[in-house]
């Protein structure tokens, strides 16, 4: 067909009269402008990570987003005691192996989570009443789990959530049967199983320097390190609600002074203001020995507590303004 000049002109006039939406930036599978992991590494940190597991990695855009934007993964559930040794001596590493394979194939650091925790603990462990049995059971669990991934895990949460809100010891089978000595037993077994992994104590509600729990953590960790217990780091989980970011820099300054290294390990912020995310980044950036930040999930609706949209990606796997706030805070640090 031969088009006359008039046809062409009137067609183009028609096109330009139709309001054209702003073109979407081409983000591909990244779904975000720039990798927060790469940005944090450029600032001298080791990683910006997230938790995940094989089920999530096989769903939606999770794997693509993690490959493009994060540099570290923590198994959300697959390495816990109930998942790995649900009955005595019978180990199951299916999902944990899948997580480790994803991480090694894609050059992601791993934070192992977790060997000794009162929760997600099978009944056969919590019903043990004598010291010798519990000691052997802990040593065997730690050496089998950590030994399997020896040399592949950057850091392990050797003990998770051992303190109460006042900074004393939470009631658990480990404390009730072995007293404080369970800390030494766990860390010595961990050191023997994977001598190069960084060994952490991890807990929540360590979000203000003056809290009894934060002070208890600092006091105990200093004491244990002085006794030669091989603790490398304190992990502050960082499960926050709006406004709580304000105290995070002070809390991390206090915690990071008590151990060779420290990290924010499970961050999510319900109903976050931009300032909360900026403060979380500052909390780690301000401390030379804070190695990195891990958020507890990719998408809001996959969070363990989805109310208040606590994460960095929305239900369509799009980076939220929270993501860009984190990126800007990293770049400004
Ligand atoms: O996100 C985890 C969720 O899928 C599990 O059901 C839950 C079981 O206790 O554990 C969640 O992760 C927790 C983490 O292992 C330790 N700190 C608190 C986290 C949120 O509960």
268 lines ligand 1 (CB under 6 A): no
Q: Tell me the mean pLDDT in the region 261-271.
A: 99
Spatial distance between the Cα atoms of 39 and 328, rounded to a whole number of angstroms: 9
Of the pLDDT bands very low, low, confident and very high (cuts 50, 70, 90), residue 24 is very low
- Closest ligand 1 atom to Cα of 303: 1
Q: Tell me the mean pLDDT in the region 127-137.
A: 98
For residues 61-92, one letter each, b for 16 or more C-beta atoms within 10 angstroms of the residue's C-beta and e for the rest, the string is bbbebbbbbbbbbbbbbbbbbebbbeeeeeee
Of the pLDDT bands very low, low, confident and very high (cuts 50, 70, 90), residue 29 is low
Q: Which residue has the higher pLDDT, 31 or 5?
A: 31
Q: What pLDDT is stored for residue 33 in this prediction?
A: 81
210 lines ligand 1 (CB under 6 A): no
Spatial distance between the Cα atoms of 212 and 198, rounded to a whole number of angstroms: 26
Count each helix (H run) and each strand (E run) in the chain, helices first.
14, 9
305 lines ligand 1 (CB under 6 A): no
Nearest to 203, CA basis, from 114, 137, 122, 138: 114
Please state whether the peptide bond connecting residue 133 to the residue before it is cis, i.e. omega within 30 degrees of 0: no
Q: What pLDDT is stored for residue 31 in this prediction?
A: 77
Q: Kindly give the distance from the C-alpha atom of residue 76 to the centroid of ligand 1, in angstroms, as a whole number.
A: 7
Q: What are phi and psi of 110, to 5 degrees?
A: -120, 135
Catalytic site includes residue 85: no
User: What tens digit of pLDDT does each residue of 57-75 get?
Assistant: 999 999 999 999 999 999 9
User: What tens digit of pLDDT does each residue of 100-124 get?
Assistant: 999 999 999 999 999 999 999 999 9
220 lines ligand 1 (CB under 6 A): no
Q: What pLDDT is stored for residue 332 in this prediction?
A: 97
Q: Tell me the mean pLDDT in the region 287-311.
A: 98
266 lines ligand 1 (CB under 6 A): yes
Q: Which of 77, 157, 270 to mutate to test the pocket of ligand 1 (most atoms within 8 A of CB)?
A: 77
180 lines ligand 1 (CB under 6 A): no
Domain 45-332 class in CATH: alpha beta
Nearest to 203, CA basis, from 236, 171, 174, 252: 236
Q: Tell me the mean pLDDT in the region 266-272.
A: 98
Residue from 76, 85, 261, 266 carrying the catalytic annotation? 266
Taking the CB of residue 133, how many other CB atoms lie within 10 A of it?
A: 13
Helix, strand, coil fractions of the chain, as percent rounded to 5: 45, 20, 40
Domain extent listing, the chain = 45-332
Q: Kindly give the distance from the C-alpha atom of residue 40 to the centroid of ligand 1, in angstroms, as a whole number.
A: 25
Contact 224, 196 (CB under 8 A): no
Contact 52, 90 (CB under 8 A): no
Output the six-digit token pair for 35.
Answer: 């990798």
Q: Tell me the mean pLDDT in the region 224-243.
A: 98
Looking at the predicted structure, is the pLDDT value of residue 22 above 50? no
Spatial distance between the Cα atoms of 333 and 331, rounded to a whole number of angstroms: 6
| Percentage of the residues of the chain whose pLDDT score is greater than 90 | 90
Q: What pLDDT is stored for residue 10 in this prediction?
A: 45
Output the six-digit token pair for 51.
Answer: 């938790």
Q: What pLDDT is stored for residue 28 in this prediction?
A: 57
Closest Cα to atom 20 of ligand 1? 304
Q: What pLDDT is stored for residue 32 in this prediction?
A: 77
Looking at the predicted structure, is the pLDDT value of residue 200 above 60? yes
pTM of the entire predicted model: 0.92
77 lines ligand 1 (CB under 6 A): yes
Which of the residue ranges 18-32, 154-168, 285-299 would you say has the lowest mean pLDDT?
18-32
Looking at the predicted structure, is the pLDDT value of residue 199 above 90? yes
Closest Cα to atom 21 of ligand 1? 304
| Percentage of the residues of the chain whose pLDDT score is greater than 70 | 91
Q: What pLDDT is stored for residue 13 in this prediction?
A: 42
Q: Tell me the mean pLDDT in the region 156-175.
A: 98
237 lines ligand 1 (CB under 6 A): yes
Mean of pLDDT over the chain: 93
Q: Tell me the mean pLDDT in the region 161-171.
A: 98
Of the pLDDT bands very low, low, confident and very high (cuts 50, 70, 90), residue 125 is very high
Q: Which of 52, 76, 79, 238 to mutate to test the pocket of ligand 1 (most atoms within 8 A of CB)?
A: 76
Q: What pLDDT is stored for residue 25 in this prediction?
A: 44
Longest dimension (CA), the chain: 95
Q: Tell me the mean pLDDT in the region 237-256.
A: 98
Looking at the predicted structure, is the pLDDT value of residue 205 above 90? yes
Catalytic site includes residue 29: no
For residues 214-241, one letter each, b for 16 or more C-beta atoms within 10 angstroms of the residue's C-beta and e for the rest, the string is bebbbebbeebeeeebbbbbbbbbbbbb
Q: Kindly give the distance from the C-alpha atom of residue 4 to the centroid of ligand 1, in angstroms, as a whole number.
A: 68
Q: Kindly give the distance from the C-alpha atom of residue 159 to the centroid of ligand 1, in angstroms, as a whole number.
A: 14
């Amino acid at each position: 067909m031969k088009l006359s000049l008039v046809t062409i002109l009137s067609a183009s006039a028609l096109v330009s009269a139709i309001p054209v939406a702003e073109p979407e930036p081409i983000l591909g599978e990244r779904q975000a402008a720039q990798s927060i992991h790469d940005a944090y590494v450029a600032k001298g940190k080791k990683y910006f990570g997230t938790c995940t597991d094989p089920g999530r990695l096989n769903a939606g855009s999770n794997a693509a987003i993690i490959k493009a934007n994060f540099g570290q993964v923590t198994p959300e559930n697959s390495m816990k005691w109930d998942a790995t040794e649900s009955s005595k001596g019978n180990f199951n590493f299916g999902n944990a192996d899948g997580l480790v394979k994803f991480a090694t194939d894609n050059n992601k650091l791993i934070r192992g989570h977790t060997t000794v925790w009162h929760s997600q603990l099978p009944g056969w462990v919590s019903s043990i009443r004598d010291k010798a049995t519990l000691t052997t059971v802990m040593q065997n669990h730690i050496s089998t789990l950590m030994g399997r991934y020896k040399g592949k895990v950057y850091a392990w949460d050797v003990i998770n959530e051992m303190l109460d809100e006042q900074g004393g010891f939470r009631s658990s089978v480990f404390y009730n049967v072995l007293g404080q000595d369970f800390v030494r037993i766990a860390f010595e077994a961990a050191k023997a199983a994977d001598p190069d992994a960084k060994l952490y104590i991890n807990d929540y509600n360590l979000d203000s320097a003056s809290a009894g729990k934060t002070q208890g953590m600092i006091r105990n960790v200093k004491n244990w390190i002085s006794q030669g217990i091989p603790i490398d780091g304190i992990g502050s989980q960082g499960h926050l609600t709006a406004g709580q970011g304000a105290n995070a820099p002070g809390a991390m300054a206090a915690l990071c002074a008590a151990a060779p290294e420290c990290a924010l390990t499970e961050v999510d912020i319900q109903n976050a203001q931009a300032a909360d995310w900026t403060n979380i980044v500052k909390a780690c950036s301000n401390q030379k020995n804070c190695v990195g930040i891990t958020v507890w999930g990719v998408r809001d609706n996959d969070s363990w507590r989805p109310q208040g949209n606590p994460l960095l990606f929305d239900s369509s796997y799009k980076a939220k303004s929270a993501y860009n706030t984190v990126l800007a805070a990293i770049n400004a640090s």
